[in-house]
Amino acid sequence: MSSGFFKFFYILIFFLIFLVIFISCFFGPVILEDYEEFYSSIDLSVEYVWPAPGYTTITSPFGYRDLPTAGATSYHSGLDIGAPEGSKLIATCDGEITFTGFLGGGGYTITLSVENMRITYCHVSPTYIVKEGDKIKKGQVIGFVGPKNVYGVPGNQYFDENGNPTNGATTGPHLHFGVRVDGKYINPLLLFQ
């Protein structure tokens, strides 16, 4: 064995140690924070119900992803659940409606709030059956999956490949389901395990 080989070997080991430290510095805290914040802040005695009854296919998970459409963020702040236009959306827990309206990339949106948690339903139907201030019971129908295209929204910056305005940053009807705890997005699947 030459000393050159050992030198190379040591450099390799140092590089691997550096790599592990580097990765854990950047990704470790993000993952840990999400879990710590979730477990210290959420009422786990509540049994949360799935927001789109009968539709369980996750077409895009929470976290980092490739861009499916221009304007969508590379960090996906919620779950995309595949469901056709008109599908019922239900309250995942008791709460209060704190927002209904068109919200940029989210398109037509409903926000259900309870204590420090904000639950958002995006790309919904503009035909709202709830309004801000409504007290909602778990399982109650609060809206419907919206269409891909919506017309007449002032300031809407989202369009499909044919130039028609879309219901936020979307390529077709689905529910984007987002959960914030103390203002920070968490993986919504944590509610259902």
Nearer to Zn ion, 135 or 187 (CB): 187
CA gyration radius for the chain? 21
Cα separation, 5 vs 150, in Å, equals 65
What residues between 101 and 140 interact with Zn ion by CB under 5 A?
none
Cα separation, 35 vs 101, in Å, equals 30
The residue number whose beta carbon is nearest to Zn ion equals 176
Closest CA to 95 of 34, 51, 40, 36: 51
Nearer to Zn ion, 34 or 80 (CB): 80
What residues between 65 and 84 interact with Zn ion by CB under 5 A?
80
**Coil, strand or helix at 100:** strand
Q: Compute how many residues bind Zn ion; rule: CB under 5 A.
A: 2
Least distance from Zn ion to the Cβ atom of residue 94, Å: 25
Do 110 and 100 contact (CB within 8 A), yes or no?
A: yes
Least distance from Zn ion to the Cβ atom of residue 166, Å: 13
Cα separation, 123 vs 78, in Å, equals 12
Nearer to Zn ion, 28 or 101 (CB): 101
Nearer to Zn ion, 82 or 96 (CB): 82
Structure tokens at 130: 């709830």
Length of the chain: 193
Nearer to Zn ion, 134 or 156 (CB): 156
Least distance from Zn ion to the Cβ atom of residue 84, Å: 16
Q: x-or-dash pattern for Zn ion, window 27-66, by CB under 5 A?
A: ----------------------------------------
Tell me: does residue 176 bind Zn ion (CB under 5 A): yes
Task: Label residues 87-111 b or e (16+ Cβ within 10 Å = b).
Answer: bebbbbbebebbebebeebbbbbbb
List contacts with Zn ion (CB under 5 A). 80, 176
